[in-house]
Chain A
Amino acid sequence: MSEQPRRRALGFLERWLVFAGAVVVWEIVTRISDSVFFPPPSKIVQFCAELWFVAEPTQLFLADTVYEDILPSLARALGGWLITAVVGISLGLALGRSRIAYEYLNPLVTFLRSVPPPALIPVFMVAFGIGAQMQIATIVFGALWPVLLNSVDGARSVDRVKTDTARSFRISRTEWIRMVVFPAALPKIFAGLRTSLAISLILMVMSELVSSNHGIGYRIQLSQNTFSFDTMWAWLVLLGALGYLLNNALLALERRMLGWQPKREAAPATAKAGG
């Protein structure tokens, strides 16, 4: 057995052991304190099962709320994030390759990205009313900046040799962008995409908390109004699990797509993700 897989297996084991230990401590503490606000994890899991699963094969054993709240929420978050990715990467690569265009837009971008994203919710609420449009607009506007700025940085990182080589082969402009600039910028772009994904999920929840009539955030708000804290925790756990899974899926994709990179830097520890 070589060193690499063994260390990875050990890391995996350690990670889940720590997690299991934390859950056990959580269970014991919540059982002793017996607070309505903090149900023990075993009870939360039970509530999750009751909330999301039914004995109905035609619905794939999933409750209505999966189709009416979870999937629409996810669709809005991921849809907004995809729009962000397309706009952010294309605009970012263009601005990264054109210093003049960047200079014209820099102060404007600096101000716009300083606006705390939740402060946009009232703006889009007035503009679009309650609904998916308002939520997607908020997500796109709030999550755009990390992808955009990282793409700018990435596009600038094309080194001299590559530029000269490409020039001497006289490749076309589209080929230049597609085969030289884009791959060179990809590591940075992925870092931006992950931050943006986290922001998209946050803004999905936030916009649903402020105003909506369905979705995960709406369900959390509803369980506050009805004082059903077990249900609320079930939704919180779901959010955590979704965030964890989506982030790891993106990391896996990144590893696949960047496998060719000679030296892979470890993922930055602190991404500039908002609350």
Chain B
Amino acid sequence: MRSALRGAIGVAGFLLLWEAAGHAGFAPQNLFPPVSMVFARLGELLATEEFLREIIATVLAWLIALAVATGIAVPLGLLLGSYPAVRRATKVLVEFIRPVPPVALIPLLIVLIGNGPETKISLAVFGALWPILFNTIYALDELEPMYVETARSFGLGRAAIMTRVALPNALPFIFTGVRISASIALILVISVELRGGGTAGIGYWMLGVSQGIRQMDLVLAGTLVAGVIGLLSNYGLEWLQRRLFGWNEIAQEAR
């Protein structure tokens, strides 16, 4: 309770400082607007349909990418993780692929796929694949041999052990991967939008208002929206993880 109050005071203090600094005239208000101006602009924007469309475009692309990445990475991870040699080879390959920042692929993707929403979804899928894949493979590494032995002694086959023992055991771990991937996917969707791949979305909109006359109040309103999307995705997924896997110690450790 006390900590919540202190947190609220911290936020209020920050906003007050920002407001005062904005009025103090260190910089022209179009470059450094007081916070009240940013919120006023944000309120106006949220009342327009076009702006809401941009938000929906970003969130939808992000959700689709996350779903596709999970749909590919979990089965692939289960498959690759069942063979120790393949598992080790995958780890090595990922170690070499990972250092290439996915954002560097944006220009290539724009040429290959074009300017539609497919481009940002593809890149986000590519970036979001690895944490889920990796966590799935690692979870299989950690699988207690006794569970498998027990299942086998009950006469379960390879496929049944996979779906009824290995997968449920791996789920909390996989979900942690999904959470990491969620923030990567959001970053990539916004990056592609910023690079002009796509004709809608919050990043695309921010790029538009940051060019020409410099309107910092609009840009900051966009940043606030991006931050709220990020915050909701982080905490939404964290909440979901606690709901679904509260019984598991991995979920309890996860912050």
A contacts, CB < 8 Å to B: 14-15, 18-19, 22, 37, 100, 103-108, 110-112, 114-123, 125-127, 198, 201-202, 205-206, 209-210, 217, 220-221, 223-224, 227, 229, 232, 235-236, 239-244, 247, 269-270, 272-275
Contact = CB atoms under 8 A, between A and B. Distances in A.
B111 A275 contact: no
A210 B194 contact: yes
Contact of B110 (A19, A105, A224, A272): A224
A121 B110 CA distance: 20
A122 B99 contact: no
Which secondary structure dominates chain A's binding surface? helix
Interface string B211-249: 000111001101100111111001000000000000000
B233 to A, nearest CB: 8
26 contacts: A14-B88, A22-B93, A100-B6, A103-B7, A104-B9, A106-B3, A107-B7, A108-B11, A111-B227, A116-B183, A116-B190, A116-B229, A118-B187, A125-B210, A126-B216, A202-B103, A205-B101, A206-B195, A209-B107, A227-B111, A232-B107, A232-B108, A239-B99, A240-B99, A243-B99, A244-B96
B7 to A, nearest CB: 4
Contacts, number: 185
B127 A104 contact: no
Given A122-B194, A122-B219, A270-B131, A202 B101 contact: yes
Q: Indicate the size class of the contact surface on chain B.
A: 35 or more
Contacts of A126: 31, 210, 214-216, 219
A100 B3 CA distance: 8
A201 B107 contact: no
Contacts of A274: 183-184, 187
B105 interface: yes
A103 B103 CA distance: 35
A209 B92 contact: no
- Give the 4 A-B residue pairs with the shortest CB-CB distance, closest first: A243-B99, A224-B107, A122-B210, A114-B230
